[in-house]
């Protein structure tokens, strides 16, 4: 006989919103919630399973016996099963045993809304509540300014399991240890934000966290939920924002996960042409189902609300946008207008961004989107998808392809570098050198650079200097900031021992200074998404492989002049046209000795002359170092 007391957290309004796809705080209702009913303490459970004939909570409190605690189905045809179980409290381990109307199928599922999960490979959910006291009020009060699109945004992308490991214990750092060591490192490096590869619970380590089963639970691999809150809190207390990778594009078929949840295609689209991902052997959400839409948007809001995240980097947006993504002819069905766009997914993304920015105007959503789909980072009211930023995959591809070439051939490929400026201001672009670029035989970033050791590191310094002075925000994957030579391995720590060598420590010093330069000079961020913030001086000197350009802020006096030499031949007495008289004052030189360069081309000041050049009334002669970049301000 059931020992479940009839109880509900849902009002009729909640149900209407849920059915209409407009309930964006479902985590306050679904899942397990410790509460008191009629003076008795216990836990309220609620789960959506409309195809179920019965739903039981099984766990360590009833010896995992089905039927001991059978939930009650609501009368309103919402498909919600709920009830209060006395005596069940924090730390109790449970699943839902679902008996389906469909051919008497039984499934045993983890709670989709669980706040904590067992440590993999175990798969059950854990009743949890925490009373964490946040101490980041100062950051939260000013983060709208820190997270704005006209603020510096230099992102350090991190995989928590392999950033640094305790070798002697063969383990990753805990959330608590990361709150000390990662925070201190990111602060030292002058990054403005950290982006974490998915920290929501996932069963399979080689997926790097991109196949989720616990959407509302920080992975238990590194500690408790409140310990993850401590990590976020410490980042904020040190003026560092935190972005979370978020995966609404697909989910795995693991037996305890969302797939075939109640014996039916509940979360996934029932048509395999829309519901199965051939690349990742995973299931695709049914974006046209209102309750699924509410689940996903509630999940996005959850991490912003409960964990104070400063933004979400939305994974694999291109796979959501197009019905023919990774499919051959005949394997997909056109939309109602005969096109390839997934109209339901597009509507979902617009509603997601509208709700995020309505509730949290001080955060950013960032799309990992690799196609030319228009207006990804434009507001929905003018027809855009509503994201705050979009990854500039074209820049990444063209730039890495260019730098892999021997310098003698680069004069034939200068358009690989200049092409990005033809579309740089069509979106709010973030320039990514992400984890995807240092795996699966692509080599590390330094491993792509041609030449001897000196040239490889000079090329790397030049690449980063060009990246940080190019319009847009920046993202750098861990290890790239000190020239990690090996490809990234999710099972191993970064090669921190390399920092004992001058070239590697020089790259680390360079990134630290580039971040400081970016944060200090408004010309590099105030108009980073506007054509008003950029002006070519020279883009067509193919023979010398030189680029020169101006970055502009809101004030004319803030303008910076950048010159890059993409060959190992010094460009001495190289004349560039300039907008006004005065002196060029060097702010940064990638060839400085402290970075591992020659140190032979450091000049503190250069006089600007009354001499026409590059269609300008003034000009100056500068010495551009081999495989180097220099940044000047005009005094």
- Residues recognised as catalytic: 315, 368
Within 315-382, strands assigned E span 364-367
Please classify residue 33 by burial: count the beta carbons closer than 10 Å to its beta carbon, then call 0-12 exposed, 13-18 middle and 19+ buried. Answer: buried
**What angle is formed at CA 314 by the lines to CA 439 and CA 140, rounded to 5 degrees?**
115
CB 28 within 8 A of CB 18: no
Q: How far apart are CA 485 and CA 500, in angstroms?
A: 14
59's CB contacts (< 8 A; 6+ apart) are 88, 92, 93, 94, 95, 124
Torsion of CA 227, 252, 303, 234, to 10 degrees: 30
243's CB contacts (< 8 A; 6+ apart) are 155, 193, 194, 195, 196, 309, 310, 311, 312, 313, 364, 366
Q: How far apart are CA 137 and CA 94, in angstroms?
A: 35
Residues in the chain: 635
- For 113-116, the CB contacts below 8 A with 24+ separation are 113/26, 113/27, 113/30, 113/31, 113/32, 113/47, 113/215, 113/216, 114/31, 114/32, 114/214, 114/216, 114/217, 115/31, 115/32, 115/216, 115/217, 115/225, 116/217, 116/218, 116/220, 116/224, 116/225
**DSSP β-bridge partners for residue 42:** 35, 86
Q: How far apart are CA 312 and CA 355, in angstroms?
A: 13
Q: How far apart are CA 604 and CA 586, in angstroms?
A: 5
Task: Provide Rg for the chain, Cα atoms.
Answer: 27
> Which letter does DSSP use for residue 270 in this model?
S
Structure tokens at 64: 């995992």
Tokens 């790397």 belong to residue: 460
**β pairing state of 40-48 and 241-246:** unpaired
Neighbours of 191 (CB within 10 A): 27
Measured CA to CA in angstroms, residue 100 lies from 119, 264, 300 at distances of 28, 8, 29
Neighbours of 458 (CB within 10 A): 26
Cis amide prior to 305 (ω within 30 degrees): no
Q: In angstroms, how far is CA 417 from the centroid of its own chain?
A: 25
**DSSP β-bridge partners for residue 82:** 46, 72
Q: How far apart are CA 300 and CA 315, in angstroms?
A: 12
**Main-chain dihedrals φ then ψ at residue 470, nearest 5 degrees:** -80, 145
């Amino acid at each position: 006989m059931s020992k479940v007391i009839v109880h509900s957290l849902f009002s009729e309004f909640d149900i209407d919103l849920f059915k209409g796809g407009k309930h964006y705080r479902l985590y306050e209702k679904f899942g397990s919630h410790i509460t008191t009913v009629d003076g008795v303490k216990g836990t309220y459970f609620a789960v959506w399973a409309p195809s179920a004939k019965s739903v039981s909570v099984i766990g360590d409190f009833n010896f995992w016996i089905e039927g001991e605690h059978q939930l009650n189905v609501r009368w309103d045809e919402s498909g919600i099963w709920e009830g209060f179980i006395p005596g069940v409290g924090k730390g109790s381990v449970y699943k839902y045993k679902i008996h389906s109307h469909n051919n008497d199928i039984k499934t045993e599922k983890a709670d989709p809304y669980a706040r904590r999960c067992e440590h993999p490979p175990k798969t059950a959910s854990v009743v949890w509540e925490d009373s964490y006291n946040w101490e980041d009020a100062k950051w939260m009060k000013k983060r709208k300014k820190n997270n704005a699109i006209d603020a510096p945004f230099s992102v350090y992308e991190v995989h928590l399991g392999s950033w640094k490991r305790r070798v002697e214990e063969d383990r990753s750092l805990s959330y608590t240890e990361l709150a000390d060591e990662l925070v201190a490192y990111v602060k030292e490096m002058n990054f403005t934000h950290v982006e974490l590869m998915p920290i929501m619970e996932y069963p399979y380590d080689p997926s790097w966290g991109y196949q989720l089963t616990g959407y509302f639970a920080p992975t238990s691999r590194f500690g408790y939920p409140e310990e993850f809150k401590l990590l976020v809190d410490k980042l904020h207390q040190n003026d560092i924002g935190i972005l979370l990778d978020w995966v609404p594009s697909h989910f795995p078929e693991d037996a305890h996960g969302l797939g075939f949840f109640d014996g039916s295609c509940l979360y996934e689209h029932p048509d395999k042409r829309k519901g199965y991902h051939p690349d990742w052997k995973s299931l695709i959400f049914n974006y046209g189902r209102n309750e699924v839409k509410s689940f996903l948007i509630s999940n996005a809001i959850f991490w912003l609300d409960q964990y104070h995240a400063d933004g979400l980097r939305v994974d694999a947006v291109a796979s959501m946008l197009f019905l023919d993504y990774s499919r051959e002819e005949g394997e997909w069905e056109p939309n109602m207008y005969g096109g390839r766009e997934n109209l339901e997914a597009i509507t979902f993304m617009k509603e997601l961004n509208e709700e995020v920015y309505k509730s949290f105007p001080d955060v950013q959503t960032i799309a990992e989107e690799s196609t030319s789909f228009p207006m990804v980072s434009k507001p929905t009211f003018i027809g855009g998808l509503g994201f705050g930023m979009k990854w500039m995959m074209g820049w990444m591809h063209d730039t890495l392809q260019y730098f892999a070439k021997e310098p003698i051939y680069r004069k034939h490929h200068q358009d690989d570098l200049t092409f990005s400026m033809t579309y740089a201001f069509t979106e709010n672009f973030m320039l990514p050198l992400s984890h995807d670029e240092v795996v699966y035989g692509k080599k590390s970033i330094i491993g792509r650079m041609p030449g001897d050791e000196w040239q490889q590191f000079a090329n790397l310094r030049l690449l980063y200097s060009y990246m940080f002075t190019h319009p847009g925000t920046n993202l750098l994957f861990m290890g790239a900031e000190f020239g990690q030579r090996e490809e990234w391995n999710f099972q191993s720590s970064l090669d921190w021992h390399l920092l004992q060598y001058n070239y590697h420590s020089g790259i680390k010093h360079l990134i630290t200074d580039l971040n400081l330069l970016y944060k200090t000079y408004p010309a590099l961020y105030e108009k980073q998404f506007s054509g008003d913030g950029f002006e070519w001086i020279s883009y067509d000197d193919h023979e010398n492989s030189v680029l020169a350009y101006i970055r502009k802020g809101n004030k004319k006096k803030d303008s910076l002049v950048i010159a890059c030499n993409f060959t190992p031949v010094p460009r001495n007495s190289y004349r560039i046209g300039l907008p006004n008289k005065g002196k060029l004052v060097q702010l940064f030189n990638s060839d400085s000795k402290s970075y591992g360069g020659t140190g032979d081309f450091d000049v503190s000041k250069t006089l600007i002359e009354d001499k026409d050049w590059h269609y300008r009334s003034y000009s100056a002669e500068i010495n551009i170092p081999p495989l180097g970049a220099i940044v000047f301000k005009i005094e």
